[in-house]
Amino acid sequence: MQPNPQIETLGSLLQIEQDVRQAQSENAVEFIAVNDTWRILHYRQAALWRMEEGGHPAVKLVSGLADLPGDSPYRQWLNQAIRQVAGNAPAGKVQVVSVDALPDELKEGWLEWMPIAAVVIELPSPNGKTVGGLWLAVENVPHEAELALIERLSWVYGQALWAWRPFAPVWRKWLADIKQKKHLKKYGLVCAVVALFPMRLTVLAPAEIIGKDAKLIGAPMDGVVAKFFVNPNQSVKVGDLIFSLDDTSVRNRNEVADKSRAVAQADYLRETQKSFSDGNSKGELSSFKAKFEEKVAEAQYTNDLFERIRVTAPADGIVVFSDPNDWVGKPVQTGERIVQLADPQHVQIAINLPVDDALNLETGARVKLYLNISPLDTVVGELTQASYEPAPVAEGFVAYRLRADLAADETPPRIGLKGTAKIYGSWAPFIYHILRKPLSATRRYLGV
Cα–Cα distance, 50 to 60 (Å, whole number):
6
Q: Contact at 8 Å (CB) between 359 and 203?
A: yes
Cα–Cα distance, 142 to 399 (Å, whole number):
82
Indicate the DSSP class of residue 407.
P
Indicate the DSSP class of residue 362.
-
Sign of CA dihedral 93, 96, 101, 107: positive
- Predicted TM-score (pTM) of the model is 0.52
Specify which residues 368 forms β-bridges with. Answer: 380, 422
Decide yes or no: CATH 3.40.1190.10 for domain 5-163.
no
Angle between helices 144-163 and 5-21 (to 10 degrees): 10
Q: Give per-residue pLDDT as tens, 239-285.
A: 899 888 887 777 777 778 788 878 777 777 777 776 666 656 666 66
Q: Contact at 8 Å (CB) between 205 and 418?
A: no
| Region of residue 324 (phi > 0: left; psi between -120 and 50: alpha; otherwise: beta) | alpha
Cα separations (Å) of 337 from 178, 212, 239, 321, 323? 65, 17, 19, 10, 14
Cα–Cα distance, 311 to 173 (Å, whole number):
74
Cα separations (Å) of 257 from 250, 253, 289, 310? 10, 6, 16, 20
Burial 333-356 (b: 16+ CB within 10 A, else e): eeeeebbbbbbbeebbbbbbbbee
Q: Contact at 8 Å (CB) between 49 and 82?
A: yes
Question: For residue 383, which phi and psi values (nearest 5 degrees)?
Answer: -65, 130
344-446 CATH fold: Elongation Factor Tu (Ef-tu); domain 3 (2.40.30)
Helix (H) or strand (E) holding 434: helix 430-446
* pLDDT for residue 323: 85
Report which of 108, 97, 105, 165 is spatially closest to residue 131, judged by C-alpha positions.
Answer: 165
Q: Give per-residue pLDDT as tens, 4-43.
A: 667 777 888 889 889 999 999 988 999 999 999 998 889 9
Q: Top-level CATH class of 214-238+314-342?
A: mainly beta
> Could you give the 3-state DSSP secondary structure of residue 247?
coil
* pLDDT for residue 1: 46
Q: Classify burial at 419, counting beta carbons within 10 Å of its beta carbon; exposed 0-12, middle 13-18, buried 19 or more.
A: buried
> Could you give the 3-state DSSP secondary structure of residue 394?
coil
> What is the bridge-based pairing of β-strands 130-138 and 117-124?
antiparallel
Q: What parts of the chain have a pLDDT lower than 70?
A: 1-5, 54, 168-174, 176-178, 180, 182-183, 274-285, 448
One-character DSSP codes across 69-131: -TT-HHHHHHHHHHHHHTTSS-TT--EEE-GGGS-HHHHHHHHHH--SEEEEEEEEPTTS-EE
> Could you give the 3-state DSSP secondary structure of residue 13?
helix
* pLDDT for residue 369: 94
> Could you give the 3-state DSSP secondary structure of residue 62?
strand
* pLDDT for residue 170: 64
